[in-house]
Amino acid sequence: MKMISRVAAILGICLASSASFAQVPYERILNAEQEPHNWLTYNGGYMSQRYSQLDQITRDNVGDLELKWVLQNQVFGAWQSNPIVVDGIMYVTERPNSVMAVDAITGRMFWKYVHTPDERSRVCCGANNRGVAVLDDKVYMGTLDARLVALDRINGELLWNAEVGDVGLAYSVTMAPLAVKDKIIVGVGGGEFGIRGYVAAFDAETGAQVWRTYTIPGPGEPGHDTWQGDDWMYGGAPVWITGSFDPEQNLTFWGVGNPGPDWNAEQRPGDNLYSDSVIALDADSGELAWYFQFTPNDAYDYDSVQVPLLADINWNGTPKKAMMWANRNGYFYVLDRTTGECLVGEPYVRVNWSSGLDENCRPIPTPQPDGMPTYPGNQGGTNWYPPSYSPRTGLFYFSAWEDYATIYYSEDQEYTPGRAFLGGGFSVLAPTQGAPTIGIGRTNPVNNWTNEVGHASLKAMDPNTGAEVWEFEQYDVSDSGMLTTASDLLITGGREGYFHVLDARSGELLYHKNLGGQIVMAPVTYMVDGVQYVSIISGNSLFNFALKD
Amino acid sequence: MSHLFQHRRARYCALVLLLGLFPVNQSTAQELGDHQYTTEAIQAGLRVYSRECALCHGPQGDLVSGINLRRGQFRTAQSDDDLRSVITEGRAQGQMPAFNLREAELSGVIAYIRAGFDPDGVAVRIGNPQRGEALFNGKGECSQCHRVNGIGPRTAPDLSSIGVLRTPASLQLNLLDPAAAILPINRPVRIVTRNEETIIGRRLNEDTYTVQLIDSQERLRSLIKEELVTYEISDLPSKQPTNLSADEVADVVAYLLTLNGQGAEQ
């Protein structure tokens, strides 16, 4: 009898396991909106809207949010990782390249995989990793030493480890990979080190590279003539933020970063395609379908590494397959994602590097004299932090930096393999000479730079007109992404460490809580056992909130 | 509140254009008058330095042990007068020989050193720190608001480390044109609370929802901005431009440069 019950118990465990560890085939990711209790991709789905159908937390009960659990990071530094949640298990990465599988109800850890990057790894702006992709029974992570690793999703064991790029030439992968069909697609970082950028797809089962498409056309390819001499060989154009996918067109979309050297545009005459562009690549072959360049011959480090946010909208009365894009260069764009045609291009912050856009949305350059401030400054009007679009409100939400400018200088620089290739530098415009300013990430719990060197404005934009509908200002700047929900909540953070919940229609502040550390990634939401959680990383801790029991 | 912000932004843009970006332009140089060396003196100093000094001190001024002329590190000298006597009298049993320079050459080479070897740089005159300390505590009235090494009020910024935090040019500007030099966080604030308390103070920290400050009674206060009736941030610092003479300003700057955060000498 005893024996039988034990066997039954074991069988029961096995059954329970197989039920809770269901596979995540491509079809589930394709239909991610049908399982809003999970957060299956970096941006919550292939359209990258960061909009959740969950509506348990509402404007009426948001005051009842309470902290459920905290996961403490063991490594200091900006925590830019975006959690993935599958059937009650959260997968989140830690600097430089660890993956953790965590119980999404209690925050207790099942396993942790540690990849130690090659000591030659070089990244410009911190040992960042922005998260994993899941597909079937595997978890995928790109690494600082430009590898792509596949782990067993159940036990965290390494299955394969493929080279994406040459670490000796300062290639790296900081983005969360994008899983499409049977492929894992990543781009490479290294825009400050004279790389030649690309997007590459790997067989999800074996790790073999299936295709690679360079973001700088080689000799004989269209667009190569936008470079002179050998400039194309080390012209940058990295891809370090996860793209989007439109299954109807079978196209993936990727934001491409700055040309190199960063600040000396005269050293690389021409438009420098496809730097500072969005490129549309066939998911199966990597073939380029179209491109749109936001900032030709960029002298300001205006990476176009923003998330290509896709939405099917009724644009001024006409159904459009749209792509919305608040660019680092200070302009907000709406593109037709079937052609790359620019429908809207309007400045959302003060812009003086350009006096406007022509009828094709090509900027009219107005470079500032030496020593004079350029708006927006080097970190841009916005940057890589993920935006959100709510189909319910029809508004696009993102973090902008207002009143922020820098003074650039340029100098000639020879390319040296694997070394920084910047061609100049910049200083942030301060109200007083020598006053503290803002940089990449918050460096001091005391804000002694003040809002006079720049501050955050969360903007809600109307894609029909490109006009701002409302804004929510913060005293410091914000690198926080956005999350919207079906209960019309807009959830975000900022460098000050506040977790904010707003009314997505009006911008009214509904809730805020000081979490004490900079929030440099977007919140996500998921549901387990009928409880909706909101997960947000602040400082070195991942906080999970839900309504009071 | 938004009106106040806009007002201040307009002002700071103007200041930046005048002072931040063109610290050595004509009008500013004239304004600062004899508080600092002229560009001509600095450039003349470059020629003297190359001819007379570079052989031993090197082109970057760092070849003699314990001395880095470009960075302002000397064995004993503090003021410009100290440098003057080192150059004209010699030191270290003749290892540093005495130089017989004309007055313009002498002040030129000091200007070049004070400009950090940058011929287009700013060279602020550095006076006598002992006289400067007396002025700081006396005629200059600095110690009426500023605290140094545990002595003095806390309402204005404590200056115990100011010599390592600021450049000579920034310290001088603070005395001559405090409105242009004040760090934004230090702008005086005036607050009226719901229970009609008026608080005058200096900001320590601020965020979207709250402000932390030290009030005129040296109390640390943390206030929720939404609950305030009035929250004004002044464009102007609480102090006026100094009435001290150019020599006296050079002395005070010299004294401030000795304040290195190591506490009072025992």
Interval A322-333: pLDDT, tens: 999 999 999 999
Is the pLDDT at A231 greater than 70, yes or no? Answer: yes
Mutation for testing the B interface, residue in A406, A428, A450 having most B CBs under 10 Å: A450
Cβ–Cβ of B184/A431 closer than 8 Å? yes
**A23-432+452-547 — its CATH code?**
2.140.10.10
Q: What does the pLDDT look like over B63-72, one tens digit per residue?
A: 888 898 987 8
What is the sign, positive or negative, of the torsion defined by CA atoms of B52, B57, B61, B67? negative
pLDDT at B39: 86
pLDDT at A440: 85
What residues have CB less than 8 Å from A119, skipping those under 6 apart? none
Average pLDDT over residues B57-84: 88
Q: What does the pLDDT look like over B132-152, one tens digit per residue?
A: 999 999 999 999 999 999 999
**Domain map (residue ranges) of chain A:** 23-432+452-547
Average pLDDT over residues A182-200: 97
DSSP A18: H
What is the sign, positive or negative, of the torsion defined by CA atoms of A121, A126, A132, A138? positive
**Distance between A521 CA and the closest CA of chain B, angstroms:** 19
Query: Given pLDDT bands bounded at 50, 70 and 90, which one contains residue B33?
Result: low
Cβ–Cβ of A432/B181 closer than 8 Å? yes
Q: Say whether residue B23 is in contact with chain A using an 8 A CB cutoff.
A: yes
What is the sign, positive or negative, of the torsion defined by CA atoms of A339, A343, A349, A353? positive
Q: Say whether residue B204 is in contact with chain A using an 8 A CB cutoff.
A: yes
Residue B206: closest C-alpha in chain A: A447
Cβ–Cβ of B208/A498 closer than 8 Å? yes
Cβ–Cβ of B207/A476 closer than 8 Å? yes
| Residues from chain B contacting residue A473 (CB–CB below 8 Å) | 208
H helix and E strand count, chain A: 2, 37
Lowest-pLDDT range of A60-64, A228-232, A305-309, B34-38:
B34-38
Mutation for testing the A interface, residue in B16, B120, B214, B233 having most A CBs under 10 Å: B16
Domains and CATH numbers, chain B: 22-34+126-182+239-257 (1.10.760.10), 38-114 (1.10.760.10), 184-233 (2.30.30.100)
DSSP A172: B
Backbone φ and ψ for B134, nearest 5 degrees, come out as -65, -40
Is the pLDDT at A1 greater than 70, yes or no? Answer: no
Residues 160-179 of chain B with CB under 8 A from chain A are 166-167, 169-170, 173
Cβ(A278)–Cβ(A254) under 8 Å?
A: yes
Backbone φ and ψ for A470, nearest 5 degrees, come out as -155, 165
Per-residue tokens: A234: 């080390």
**Distance between A519 CA and the closest CA of chain B, angstroms:** 14
Average pLDDT over residues B43-64: 89
Give the percent of chain A with pLDDT over 70: 96
Cβ(A147)–Cβ(A184) under 8 Å?
A: no
| Residues from chain B contacting residue A370 (CB–CB below 8 Å) | none
Q: Any idea which residue has 């600062």 for tokens?
A: B32
Tell me which residue in B15, B21, B206 faces A475 most closely, judged by beta carbons: B206
Query: Given pLDDT bands bounded at 50, 70 and 90, which one contains residue B169?
Result: confident
Query: Given pLDDT bands bounded at 50, 70 and 90, which one contains residue B40?
Result: confident
- Measured CA to CA, the distance from residue A427 to residue A409 in angstroms comes to 9
Is the pLDDT at B23 greater than 70, yes or no? Answer: no
pLDDT at A12: 46
| Residues from chain A contacting residue B23 (CB–CB below 8 Å) | 433
| Residues from chain B contacting residue A435 (CB–CB below 8 Å) | 183-184
Q: HEC states along A89-113?
A: EEEEEECCCEEEEEECCCCCEEEEE
Query: Given pLDDT bands bounded at 50, 70 and 90, which one contains residue B165?
Result: confident
**Distance between B205 CA and the closest CA of chain A, angstroms:** 5
pLDDT at B32: 54
pLDDT at A184: 98
Average pLDDT over residues A461-467: 98
- Measured CA to CA, the distance from residue A195 to residue A341 in angstroms comes to 29
Most confidently predicted of A44-48, B107-111, B257-261: A44-48
| Residues from chain B contacting residue A446 (CB–CB below 8 Å) | 204-205
pLDDT at A442: 87
Interface contacts A/B by beta carbons within 8 Å = 72
Tell me which residue in A429, A434, A474 faces B16 most closely, judged by beta carbons: A429
pLDDT at A77: 87
| Residues from chain B contacting residue A429 (CB–CB below 8 Å) | 16, 20
Tell me which residue in B8, B20, B184 faces A433 most closely, judged by beta carbons: B20
- Measured CA to CA, the distance from residue B173 to residue B152 in angstroms comes to 22
Is the pLDDT at A102 greater than 80, yes or no? Answer: yes
pLDDT at A387: 98
Instruction: For helices B39-48 and B103-114, give the axis angle rounded to 10 degrees.
Output: 100
The pTM score is: 0.88
Q: What does the pLDDT look like over A397-435, one tens digit per residue?
A: 999 999 999 999 999 999 999 999 999 999 999 988 778
Task: Tell which wins on pLDDT, A17 or A42.
Answer: A42
Per-residue tokens: A167: 């670490």
pLDDT at B78: 87
Those residues of chain A whose CB sits closer than 8 Å to some CB in chain B are 371-373, 403, 407, 429-436, 445-453, 473-476, 494, 496, 498, 512
Mean of the per-residue pLDDT values of chain B = 84
Q: Any idea which residue has 């934009």 for tokens?
A: A461
- Measured CA to CA, the distance from residue A21 to residue A195 in angstroms comes to 40
| Residues from chain B contacting residue A476 (CB–CB below 8 Å) | 207-208
**Distance between A350 CA and the closest CA of chain B, angstroms:** 14
Q: What does the pLDDT look like over A131-141, one tens digit per residue?
A: 999 999 999 99
Q: HEC states along chain B?
A: CHHHHHHHHHHHHHHHHHHHCCCCCHHHHHHHHHHECCHHHHHHHHHHHHHHHHHHHCCCCCCCCCCECCCCECCCCCCHHHHHHHHHHCECCCCECCCCCCHHHHHHHHHHHHCCCCCCCCCECCCCHHHHHHHHHCCCCHHHCCCECCECCCCCCCCCCHHHHCCHHHHHHHHHCHHHHCCHHHCEEEEEECCCCEEEEEEEEECCCEEEEEECCCCEEEEEHHHEEEEEECCCCCCCCCCCCHHHHHHHHHHHHCCCCCCCCC
Lowest-pLDDT range of A6-10, A516-520, B197-201, B202-206:
A6-10
Say yes or no: ipTM exceeds 0.85. yes
Q: What does the pLDDT look like over A58-72, one tens digit per residue?
A: 999 999 999 999 999
- Measured CA to CA, the distance from residue A211 to residue A186 in angstroms comes to 11
Catalytic positions of A, please?
A: 301
What residues have CB less than 8 Å from B138, skipping those under 6 apart? none
Tell me which residue in A433, A494, A512 faces B19 most closely, judged by beta carbons: A433
| Ramachandran sector of residue A87 (left: φ over 0; alpha: ψ -120 to 50; beta: rest) | left
pLDDT at B6: 34
Mean of the per-residue pLDDT values of chain A = 95
**Distance between B173 CA and the closest CA of chain A, angstroms:** 10
DSSP A299: S
pLDDT at A76: 84
Burial B149-171 (b: 16+ CB within 10 A, else e): eeebeebbbbbbbbbebbebbbb
CA A79, A407, A344 angle in degrees (round to 5)? 70
Q: What does the pLDDT look like over A432-454, one tens digit per residue?
A: 877 899 988 888 899 999 999 99
**Distance between B40 CA and the closest CA of chain A, angstroms:** 22
Distances (CA, A) of A368 to A332, A351, A414, B87, B236: 21, 11, 25, 45, 30
Cβ–Cβ of B173/A449 closer than 8 Å? no
Is the pLDDT at A3 greater than 60, yes or no? Answer: no
Give the percent of chain B with pLDDT over 90: 54
Task: Tell which wins on pLDDT, A105 or A15.
Answer: A105
Query: Given pLDDT bands bounded at 50, 70 and 90, which one contains residue B265?
Result: low
Bond prior to A376 in cis (omega within 30° of 0) = yes
Cβ–Cβ of B207/A496 closer than 8 Å? yes
pLDDT at B118: 83
Cβ–Cβ of B20/A431 closer than 8 Å? yes
Residue B174's nearest CA partner among B249, B254, B72 is B249
Average pLDDT over residues A222-237: 98
End-to-end CA gap in chain A: 40
Cβ(A54)–Cβ(A535) under 8 Å?
A: no
pLDDT at B116: 84
Provide the β-strand partners of residue A536: A543
pLDDT at A21: 59
pLDDT at B66: 86
